[in-house]
Amino acid sequence: MLGHKSSYRLIVNHNFKILTTMAIYHIKNRRGEHREDNWIRFWEEKTGLDAGQCHVLGCMKDAEDGAHVNLVDSDDKKTYIVPMCHQCNCQFGQEFHVVGPLVSVDGNTILP
């Protein structure tokens, strides 16, 4: 295991076409560089997925930003990108549970 707390649950993906198993991550939202539109495209290019809805659990808004987040209670100190709506992304310092994948800002690590 990677050391971070994650659990797995069955969810319907954003297009409601397939059922898939994805990881849930406990993250802390941090202030990123102000190129959010590019960061969400960065995430889509790295994952090959559509960002779809905000990845914060329980939020049903459309994803607009590529949020900069850190894992909570983890030895992994990398900064990751995950799609969020603008309202969630503006809550700097807030902790959320989000659905993966997470893409590290250097593009070298993708957590499922």
Distance CA 97, CA 79 (A): 15
Question: Is 67 one of the binding residues for Zn ion (CB under 5 A)?
Answer: no
Q: Which of the ranges 43-51, 68-76, 79-87, 93-101 carries the binding residues for Zn ion, by CB under 5 A?
A: 79-87
Phi-psi category of residue 6: left, alpha or beta, with phi > 0 → left and psi -120 to 50 → alpha: beta
Please tell me the count of residues contacting Zn ion according to CB under 5 A.
6
Nearer to Zn ion, 54 or 111 (CB): 54
State the minimum distance, in angstroms, from the CB of residue 96 to Zn ion. 8
Nearer to Zn ion, 63 or 103 (CB): 63
Question: Is 63 one of the binding residues for Zn ion (CB under 5 A)?
Answer: no
Question: Is 72 one of the binding residues for Zn ion (CB under 5 A)?
Answer: no
Question: Is 59 one of the binding residues for Zn ion (CB under 5 A)?
Answer: yes
* Residue 98: both structure tokens together: 């989000």
Distance CA 91, CA 110 (A): 24
Distance CA 10, CA 29 (A): 24
Q: Which of 92, 100, 97 is CA-nearest to residue 72? A: 97
Which residues form the interface with Zn ion (CB under 5 A)? 54, 56, 59, 61, 85, 88
